[in-house]
């Protein structure tokens, strides 16, 4: 299986669960919506923007986050990626850690990527789509990015890996903060 098919399979497995989750949440509330973007007053998230999986708004607003019932497991893989070595140890679409050996990623490139994939102004919003094709959060720290890829397409991950590699990374490692997951498949 090639890397694109492999990543797409993991993303699709997560999206099936996300769609079922959103449908169930809609059935269990009188008012609510999936993928609601919030501006936080404080915190370390990129531009303090966050996209909640679902917000119920019956008597009061309640954020409900998807806890996937299963994640796909695999043996770690290593592949060349441009001038970098890419290893994928764990991949949870909603909890991706991208470790790299770049002193600082170019801020303008991060901002451009974030603008495209978070879509803060809803420029790509499609009222008829079940999900928004956006990431849910980005946290930038020295040597690591933490990303909830939400409903974003696999190209969001590819674009970020290309950004890191173009910034001079020789080593990129993909992992997750939640390596042990219930219902691993």
**pLDDT the model gives residue 1:** 59
| C-alpha dihedral (25, 31, 34, 37), degrees to nearest 10 | -140
Here the tokens at position 42 are 């404080």
pLDDT computed for residue 88 by the predictor = 94
Give the contacts of 146 (CB within 8 A, at least 6 positions apart).
95, 96, 97, 98, 137, 138, 139, 177
15 is a domain residue: yes
DSSP symbol at 127: T
Q: Flag whether 181 is in a domain.
A: no
Give me the residues of the chain with pLDDT under 50, please.
Answer: 180-182
Does 184 reside within a domain? no
**In total, how many domains does the chain have?**
1
Angle between helices 107-118 and 154-166 (to 10 degrees): 180
67 found inside a domain: yes
Residue whose C-alpha is closest to residue 135's, from 72, 50, 55: 50
Q: Which of 182, 17, 1 is nearest to 94 (CA)?
A: 17
Residue 183 lies in a domain: no
Q: Assess if residue 185 is contained within a domain.
A: no
Per-residue model confidence as pLDDT tens digits over 63-99: 999 999 998 888 999 988 899 999 999 999 999 999 9
Domain span holding position 92: 3-175
Segment 96-111, tens digit of pLDDT? 999 999 999 999 999 9
In a domain, 180, yes or no: no
User: CA–CA separation, 56 vs 19, rounded Å?
Assistant: 16
């Amino acid at each position: 299986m090639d890397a694109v098919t492999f990543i797409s399979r993991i993303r699709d497995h997560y999206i099936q669960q996300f769609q079922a989750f959103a449908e169930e949440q809609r059935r269990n509330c009188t008012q609510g919506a999936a993928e609601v973007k919030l501006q936080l007053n404080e915190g370390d998230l990129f531009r303090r923007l966050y996209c909640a999986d679902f917000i119920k708004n019956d008597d009061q607003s309640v954020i409900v986050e998807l806890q996937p019932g299963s994640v796909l497991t695999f043996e770690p893989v290593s592949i060349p990626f441009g001038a970098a070595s890419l290893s994928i140890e764990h991949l949870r679409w909603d909890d991706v850690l991208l470790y790299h050996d770049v002193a600082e990623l170019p801020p303008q490139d991060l901002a451009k990527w974030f603008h495209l994939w978070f879509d803060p102004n809803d420029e790509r919003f499609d009222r008829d789509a079940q999900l928004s094709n956006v990431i849910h959060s980005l946290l930038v720290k020295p040597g690591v990015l933490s990303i909830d890829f939400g409903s974003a397409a696999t190209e969001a991950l590819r674009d970020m890996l290309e950004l890191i590699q173009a910034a001079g990374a020789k080593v990129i490692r993909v992992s997750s903060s939640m390596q042990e997951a219930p219902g691993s498949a």
